[in-house]
């Protein structure tokens, strides 16, 4: 099948099968799991993944074609995104054959939901300073500790867990990666409300949770290199997403604001011009990155520049919108009140603005690194988290 | 021009700060208005009567003192009708009938004020006030109304007949507003509405609260930057954080200077008040939000959680920035005053 | 929409960059216009004829290619009438009489263009042009003039009778202007002045040069941050420097995207040209100065010296930012085009 | 004499003796030296300096009164400012009695002009990494090296020189302070043009210049602590000056710009409003600092915040002015072209904006210091200046 045929087939399938309502998740997981199974059975889940483990074994070209066609729909695949974008690729890259055989097909078919368990209250930007312990006990490991910022954990069947297995070596060298059973009674999932009041994240507590050694991913104490694989996939899926989402639902977009503000005031018009300039500048940059990717030039760390700009734009837009609208925007049910409450999220998810600037400075511009005190000290002697 | 606090003003600050730190710590602020705290604010500290002239039972202090107090109530994100009552007291000093001031000075009355102009038929007022500050907590509303005698200031008992109040959920979780509908609500006429002066005073008072909010937000993130570690170092040792905090400090220094100037102008140099008041809102309102925003962002992920206090400052700062209208009106006023 | 360079465009870039790095290094730029460099630019590279249609002896390339070249001449701060000649060639493609284009394509003629409207009596033009770009170096001036047939485009030999030129010292040390007085200077009519299109093309061309200036400025300070030491560390390792450089890189990425878009619109999508051209000047002009400014400041004291090149970029960036008028006119144009 | 009498006397003296023309320096040094001698003989130079060494022995109150009265005049004292503000106070604080007896009175009376020789091409923000060497040779020291950014060096009789006397210890511990004779033939002063084309600074080259040991200030290898004294005095005299200079001569001030721009345009008006807001904010901050100082609250490092803001305001103003005026402002003789060429100077003299932010962060906010690699390494093993 050539690409044009592939596109026609994908288009036809989507026309027939994509859900017509916007939020099918509202019914719970049954319908979205059914859809995912249909998607997989039609050959559109895991398009580039190895055939041997349940993928389609096709190329990025087919994947891009399907993504382009799917952009016209809102497919109910959110709950599977951690698995598809991060933990699944990690198992494919770094897991054992037994793990691939066990986990990949159910993941692609939506039968099992995954979450990622890296961040901790004391280890945000600096993930490698995490404190959750996994202690060897014969053929298994016993896990105690706490994770945070975990999306979809309340639905998850499996979690990809990064835990500390040696405190006598520097922080990056004492970590190991595991697959943990989220249904074990020692796992407690507690919803975590963000500043807008939504519960979009979870805190997870582990109380003597056993993991069989065969669910270890990679070597003992080599977990950081596995995590780097996962984070690389995360960055890829974020930068693939950046600039894709339209501004149509954003109450702080130029299109939305021009309808509600007084454009007879030249100062208001000029503020909207500034918004246009900034939005266009970033949108064109994202389009250029996308065209480069198509042409085989991988954006790499330059995607962090796009992410930084997106975070700044989101904050600027919501701030501007509330200023232009005035007192009304401070009522809780005003769309701009919600926008200003959500705006910081873009900067704080997936790396703070400071981390993004470090990445651009170090990897794009090749600037010398900050001197590091944390790469040589044994973990048990290292300052971590919050302390005087 | 006096830009530094006197000994007495510093003592007032210490007293208010001390009281609020125990009576209304931040952990309580998110639970909303506690009338008991407010009663003790009246009783022990006599704060609502601060700017009420002595002949009406107040302390006869000036805006300079009120600013010191509002800075502290702002820093504590004190819930309830304190700002609204202070606004009203400031307005009442500008109208002939000052009787209400006694009630405020005695702490009997929580009051609010709204700028929307109603209609007045001689005995009662009617109209809709879409967003009245602390409208649920206040006892009395002061509001201008058009009647046979032109535009007059009137006072309405909010618990009285003809008044319907609907609480509004607001962005600012620590201070609410209400939709107030007045349908022939009995109203006392306080005298003709003054042509100017009231709104400028509210602008200065609000700027003082904003100064407190930004100072507390900066203090919070500075303290966190000294204990939070990333990559083996306190985050405050990174120039990425340190330089941003230094810039925030620069904004705070300038904001404080402007608030002191505007308070001085209110008390001592009425000719400078309009410019000072517009400057105060134009600079301090923006600076307060920027500092609150950056204080939240620099906290990292924890600052994005509901449990953390950062968003309370951020939301109060944004709500305050637009409380007296879209900020551009303050800039437009400056352009007019500078005869540009 | 095409935002990435083709293989041919990349080769063009490499050729121009290679040529300029030896023929016009920065150390030469501050010495001003070298006609020999310009002659070789014509001869070896055929650059001035780039956008001249093939029927007039040019390469018939588009704005996309010209932008690539201007980025390089901008990065090199190339002195002399190259930008003025490119401006003129772009204008000439929009008027009926294209004869001058052959002269430009052959490299015989350096030209300039001015927007000030003169008067025309049928055979000669008169008027004063207070600031004509490269007015001392150019051979021919293209300028609109009012006459019996309305507003027409005319061409004047600058070495001819009736022309007085006075060199002007400019902020930009690498490219001059001239006061040109025309007193019945013989002028050839090129046809009616087009209603639109010329100025938009100049805006896009200038933005391409600005992109080159900002890229070179950023490259210079990034290179310096990798070798300059303070307190025992390379200054580029300090977040205070690193984060600023990262922000400058973000501006550069966006500026390049806008320039590619505007060049594409010029060549392929004329309906988008007005918006793209205004966007290009509004964003890239500002970004270029900001980057040049911060590149100078981050150099520390040495960047403030006459001997260092930093101020050459800074001054070119500022001169370019205001070259086509105060920058607010580009924003006003955007407001108009967006129908705000 | 009480303060009111002091003020009346100062006012009367100034009325009679202050030069009426703006730039008496134009005639060379004769007239300004004559004026300085008159000023000293009248008791208005060195008002707070110890009587024993030639000062008046009065208090800061008298000094402030005289400064307030003198503000109405432009006294031709610029060429003496380094001596009066920095090197003189250093000799008073840290010199020997012989040095004080030799140098202070001629300095106060304007008979001898001083310059300060700290900065080097490779040691700007990081002064202590300087490389100029002083090597002991019996009773004297032999100096070789280069200094830069030196004001008034072409007029100077004496220079306060910080030089390296030991390369085997960390950088702060191998420096010694000297007084050097600027007329020695081994001293070459070369004017250094700034980016506006003015020659306001000099480069100084030392070729085997001898200094007698009695002209050493402080102990051998204790020069850094002496330099800190000098820099403290420098900061004091800068912050005393900040906010004092009026905006009347600034072509980018609101007062100047409103005369030359199109204020019928609401956007232009709003830009001028922004300029008003920023100028007023800083002016009021400076006034508050001055009032605090009067009240005995020393501003300390908060003065660095004022300096940072002044540098940013200067750049913002000149940039704004050129944008509002447009193409004309790019002609070299336009006042705004000069303003934009001089604007970076405010940020680069007396410490870059980055250094100011460090000072505010460290000393005002009490933030933890940057880890330092340069405090323990012997100087000869330390990276300094510009190198790959």
Reported ipTM: 0.94
Closest CA to B192 of B84, B120, B124: B120
Q: Using alpha carbons, list the distances in angstroms from residue B107 to B18, B45, B154.
A: 20, 10, 20
**B97 pLDDT tier (thresholds 50, 70, 90):** very high
CA–CA separation, A142 vs A176, rounded Å? Answer: 12
Q: Do B254 and D358 touch (CB under 8 A)?
A: no
- Three-state SS at A50: coil
* φ, ψ for residue A335, nearest 5 deg: -55, -35
CA–CA separation, B121 vs A291, rounded Å? Answer: 69
Cα atoms found within 13 Å of the Cα of residue A113, Cβ hemisphere only: 19
Q: What is the pLDDT of residue D244?
A: 37
Pairs from C165-169 (Cβ < 8 Å, separation ≥ 24): C165/C135, C165/C136, C167/C135, C167/C136, C168/C131, C168/D331, C168/D332, C169/D331, C169/D332, C169/D333
Q: Is the pLDDT of residue A240 over 60?
A: no
Cα atoms found within 13 Å of the Cα of residue A279, Cβ hemisphere only: 21
Within the 242-261 window of chain C, which residues sit less than 8 Å (CB to CB) from chain B?
242-243
Q: Do A319 and B289 touch (CB under 8 A)?
A: yes
Pairing of strands D158-164, D114-117: parallel
Q: Using alpha carbons, list the distances in angstroms from residue D151 to A147, C216, D116, D348.
A: 60, 32, 8, 14
**pLDDT tens digit sequence for B230-269:** 999 999 999 999 999 999 999 999 999 999 999 999 999 9
Q: What is the pLDDT of residue C10?
A: 97
CA–CA separation, D356 vs A349, rounded Å? Answer: 31
Q: Do B338 and D272 touch (CB under 8 A)?
A: yes
Residues B280-295, mean pLDDT to the nearest whole number: 98
CA–CA separation, A289 vs C3, rounded Å? Answer: 9
User: Per CB distance under 8 Å, which residues of C are interface residues toward A?
Assistant: 1-4, 222, 225-226, 233-234, 236-237, 239, 241-243, 245-247, 249-250, 253-258, 260-261, 279, 282-283, 331, 334-335, 338, 340
Chain A, nearest residue to D267 by Cα: A267
The segment(s) of chain D belonging to CATH 2.40.110.10 are 114-222
**pLDDT tens digit sequence for A338-361:** 999 999 998 888 789 999 999 999
Closest CA to B65 of B12, B104, B16: B12
Cα atoms found within 13 Å of the Cα of residue A343, Cβ hemisphere only: 31
Q: Running DSSP on this structure, what letter comes out for residue D294?
A: H
**A137 pLDDT tier (thresholds 50, 70, 90):** very high
**pLDDT tens digit sequence for A293-338:** 878 888 889 999 999 999 999 999 999 999 999 999 999 999 999 9
Classify residue A225 as exposed, middle or buried by CB count within 10 Å of its CB (0-12, 13-18, 19+).
middle
Q: Is the pLDDT of residue D52 over 70?
A: yes
Question: Could you say which of D266, D270, D371 has the minimum Cβ distance to residue A373?
Answer: D371
The angle formed by the CA atoms of residues A27, A31 and A35, to the nearest 5 degrees, is: 150
Over the Cα atoms of chain D, what is R_g? 22
Within the 85-124 window of chain A, which residues sit less than 8 Å (CB to CB) from chain C?
none
Decide if D262 touches A, using CB distance below 8 A: no
Q: Is the pLDDT of residue A243 over 70?
A: no
- Three-state SS at C57: coil
Interchain CB contacts (distance < 8 Å): A and B? 148
**A281 pLDDT tier (thresholds 50, 70, 90):** very high
Paired with C170 in beta bridges are D331
**pLDDT tens digit sequence for D336-348:** 999 999 999 988 8
> Hey, how many other C-beta atoms are within 10 angstroms of the C-beta on A248?
8
**Residue holding tokens 């249904």?**
A183
Decide if A262 touches C, using CB distance below 8 A: no
Q: Which residues of D touch B246 (CB under 8 A)?
A: 305, 308, 356-358, 360-361, 364-365
Within the 354-373 window of chain A, which residues sit less than 8 Å (CB to CB) from chain B?
354, 357-358, 370, 372-373
Angstroms from C34 CA to nearest CA on chain B: 45
Residues A71-76, mean pLDDT to the nearest whole number: 85
The angle formed by the CA atoms of residues B212, B217 and B220, to the nearest 5 degrees, is: 125
**A74 pLDDT tier (thresholds 50, 70, 90):** confident
Within the 340-379 window of chain D, which residues sit less than 8 Å (CB to CB) from chain A?
371, 373
CA–CA separation, B52 vs B94, rounded Å? Answer: 11
Q: What is the pLDDT of residue D243?
A: 38
DSSP B219-242: HHHHHHHHHBEETTEEGGGSHHHH
Chain B, nearest residue to C238 by Cα: B239
Residues D189-202, mean pLDDT to the nearest whole number: 93
Q: Using alpha carbons, list the distances in angstroms from residue D187 to A60, D190, D207, D210.
A: 70, 10, 7, 10
**pLDDT tens digit sequence for B119-154:** 999 899 999 999 999 999 999 999 999 999 899 999
Q: What is the pLDDT of residue A244?
A: 37
Q: What is the pLDDT of residue D21?
A: 63
Q: What is the pLDDT of residue B45?
A: 83
Q: Are A19 and A76 in contact (CB under 8 A)?
A: yes
Give the E-state strand segments of chain A in sequence order.
114-117, 133-137, 140-150, 158-164, 175-181, 187-192, 201-212, 216-217
| Residues of chain C under the 50 pLDDT cut | none
DSSP B131-183: EEETTTT-SEEEEEEEETTEEEEEEEETTSTTEEEEEE-BS-TTS-EEEEEEE
**pLDDT tens digit sequence for D11-38:** 999 999 988 765 555 567 888 999 999 9
CA–CA separation, A279 vs C254, rounded Å? Answer: 10
Q: What is the pLDDT of residue B47?
A: 86
Q: Do B242 and D362 touch (CB under 8 A)?
A: yes
- Three-state SS at D26: helix
Lowest-confidence region among A374-378, B157-161, C89-93: A374-378
What would the CATH number be for the domain defined by B111-192?
2.40.110.10
Classify domain A242-364 by CATH architecture. Up-down Bundle (1.20)
CA–CA separation, C272 vs C260, rounded Å? Answer: 13
Q: Using alpha carbons, list the distances in angstroms from residue A276 to A255, B330, C87, C270, D183.
A: 10, 24, 27, 20, 63
Q: Using alpha carbons, list the distances in angstroms from residue D309 to C113, D279, D302.
A: 42, 10, 11
Paired with D386 in beta bridges are C228
Q: What is the pLDDT of residue A61?
A: 85
Question: Could you say which of A129, A194, A333 has the minimum Cβ distance to residue B304?
Answer: A194
Neighbouring chains of C at 3+ CB pairs under 8 Å are A, B, D
Work out the percent of chain D whose per-residue pLDDT is above 70. 95
Q: Are B145 and B151 in contact (CB under 8 A)?
A: yes
Closest CA to B63 of B303, B292, B283, B280: B280
CA–CA separation, D349 vs B298, rounded Å? Answer: 31
CATH number (3.40.50.970, 3.40.50.300, 1.10.540.10, 3.30.1600.10) of B7-106 reads: 1.10.540.10
Q: What is the pLDDT of residue D53?
A: 96
DSSP A75-106: -S-GGGHHIIIIIHHHHHHHS-HHHHHHHHHH
Please give the mean pLDDT across all residues of chain A.
Answer: 92
Q: What is the pLDDT of residue D240?
A: 56
Q: Is the pLDDT of residue D248 over 70?
A: no
Whether domain A114-222 has CATH 3.50.50.60: the reply is no
Q: Using alpha carbons, list the distances in angstroms from residue D122 to B320, C6, C300, D25, D147.
A: 49, 44, 11, 33, 9
Residue C151's contacts (CB-CB under 8 Å, 6 or more residues apart) are C117, C144, C145, C192, C193
Lowest-confidence region among A119-123, A179-183, B44-48: B44-48
* Superfamily of domain A3-108 in the CATH hierarchy: Acyl-CoA dehydrogenase/oxidase, N-terminal domain (1.10.540.10)
**pLDDT tens digit sequence for A44-68:** 999 999 999 999 999 888 988 998 8
Rounded to the nearest angstrom, the gap between the alpha carbon of residue C245 and the centroid of all alpha carbons in its chain is: 25
**A387 pLDDT tier (thresholds 50, 70, 90):** confident
Paired with C231 in beta bridges are none
What would the CATH number be for the domain defined by B198-337?
1.20.140.10
Neighbouring chains of B at 3+ CB pairs under 8 Å are A, C, D
């Amino acid at each position: 099948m050539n690409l044009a045929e592939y596109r026609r087939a994908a288009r036809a399938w989507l026309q027939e099968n994509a859900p017509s309502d916007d939020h099918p998740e509202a019914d719970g997981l049954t319908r979205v799991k059914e859809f995912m199974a249909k998607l997989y059975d039609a050959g559109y889940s895991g398009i580039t993944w190895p055939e041997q483990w349940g993928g389609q074994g096709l190329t990025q070209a087919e994947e891009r074609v399907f993504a382009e066609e799917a952009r016209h729909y809102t497919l109910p695949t959110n709950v599977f995104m951690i698995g598809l974008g991060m933990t699944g690729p990690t198992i494919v890259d770094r897991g054992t054959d037994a793990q691939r055989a066990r986990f990949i097909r159910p993941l692609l078919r939506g039968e099992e939901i995954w979450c990622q368990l890296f961040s901790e209250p004391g280890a945000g930007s600096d993930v490698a300073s995490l404190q959750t312990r996994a202690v060897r006990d014969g053929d298994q490991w016993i896990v105690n500790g706490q994770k945070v910022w975990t999306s979809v954990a309340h639905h998850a069947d499996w979690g990809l867990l990064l835990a500390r297995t040696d405190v006598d070596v520097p922080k990056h060298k004492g970590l190991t990666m595991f697959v943990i059973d989220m249904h074990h009674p020692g796992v407690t999932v507690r919803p975590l409300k963000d500043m807008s009041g939504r519960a979009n994240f979870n805190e997870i507590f582990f109380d003597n949770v056993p993991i069989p050694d065969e669910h270890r991913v990679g070597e003992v104490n080599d977990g950081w290199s596995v995590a780097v694989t996962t984070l690389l996939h995360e960055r890829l899926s974020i930068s693939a997403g950046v600039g894709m989402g339209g501004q149509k639902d954003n109450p702080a977009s130029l299109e939305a604001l021009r309808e509600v503000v007084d454009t007879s005031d030249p100062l208001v018009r000029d503020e909207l011009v500034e918004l246009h300039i900034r939005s266009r500048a970033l949108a064109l940059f994202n389009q250029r990155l996308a065209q480069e990717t198509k042409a085989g030039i991988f954006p790499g760390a330059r995607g962090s520049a796009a992410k930084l700009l997106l975070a700044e734009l989101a904050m600027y837009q919501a701030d501007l919108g509330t200023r232009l609208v005035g007192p009304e925007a401070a009522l809780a049910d005003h769309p701009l009140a919600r926008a200003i409450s959500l705006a910081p999220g873009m900067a704080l998810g997936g790396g703070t603005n400071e981390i993004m600037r470090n990445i651009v400075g170090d990897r794009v511009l090749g600037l010398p690194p900050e001197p590091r005190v944390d790469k040589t000290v044994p973990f048990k002697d290292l300052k971590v988290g919050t302390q005087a | 021009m006096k830009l530094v606090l006197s000994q007495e003003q510093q003592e007032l600050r210490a007293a208010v700060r001390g009281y609020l730190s125990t009576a209304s710590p931040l952990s309580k602020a998110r639970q909303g208005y506690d009338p008991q705290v407010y009663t003790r604010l009246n009783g022990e500290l006599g704060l609502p009567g601060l700017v009420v002239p002595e002949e009406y039972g107040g302390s006869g202090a000036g805006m300079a003192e009120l600013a010191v107090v509002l800075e502290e109530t702002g820093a504590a994100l004190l819930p309830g009708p304190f700002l609204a009552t202070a606004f009203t007291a400031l307005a009442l000093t500008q109208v002939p009938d000052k009787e209400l001031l006694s009630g405020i000075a005695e702490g009997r009355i929580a009051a609010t004020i709204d700028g929307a102009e109603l209609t007045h038929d001689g005995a009662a007022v009617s109209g809709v006030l879409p967003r009245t500050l602390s409208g649920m907590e206040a006892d009395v509303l002061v509001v201008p109304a058009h009647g046979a005698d032109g535009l007059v200031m009137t006072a309405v008992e909010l618990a009285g007949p003809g008044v319907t109040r609907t609480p509004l959920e607001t962005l600012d979780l620590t201070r609410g507003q209400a939709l107030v509908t007045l349908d022939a609500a009995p109203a006392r006429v306080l005298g003709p509405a003054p042509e100017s002066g009231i709104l400028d005073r509210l602008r200065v008072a609000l700027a003082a609260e904003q100064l407190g909010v930004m100072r507390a937000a900066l203090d919070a993130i500075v303290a966190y930057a000294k204990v939070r570690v990333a990559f083996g170092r306190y985050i405050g040792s990174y120039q990425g954080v340190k330089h941003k905090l230094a810039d925030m400090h620069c904004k705070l220094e300038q904001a404080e200077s402007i608030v002191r100037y505007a308070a001085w102008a209110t008390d001592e140099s009425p000719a400078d008040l309009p410019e000072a008041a517009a400057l105060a809102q134009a600079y301090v309102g923006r600076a307060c939000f920027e500092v609150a925003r950056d204080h939240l962002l620099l906290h990292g992920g924890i600052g994005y959680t509901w449990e953390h206090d950062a968003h309370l400052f951020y939301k109060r700062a944004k709500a305050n920035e637009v409380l007296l209208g879209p900020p551009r009106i303050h800039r437009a006023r400056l352009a007019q005053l500078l005869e540009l």
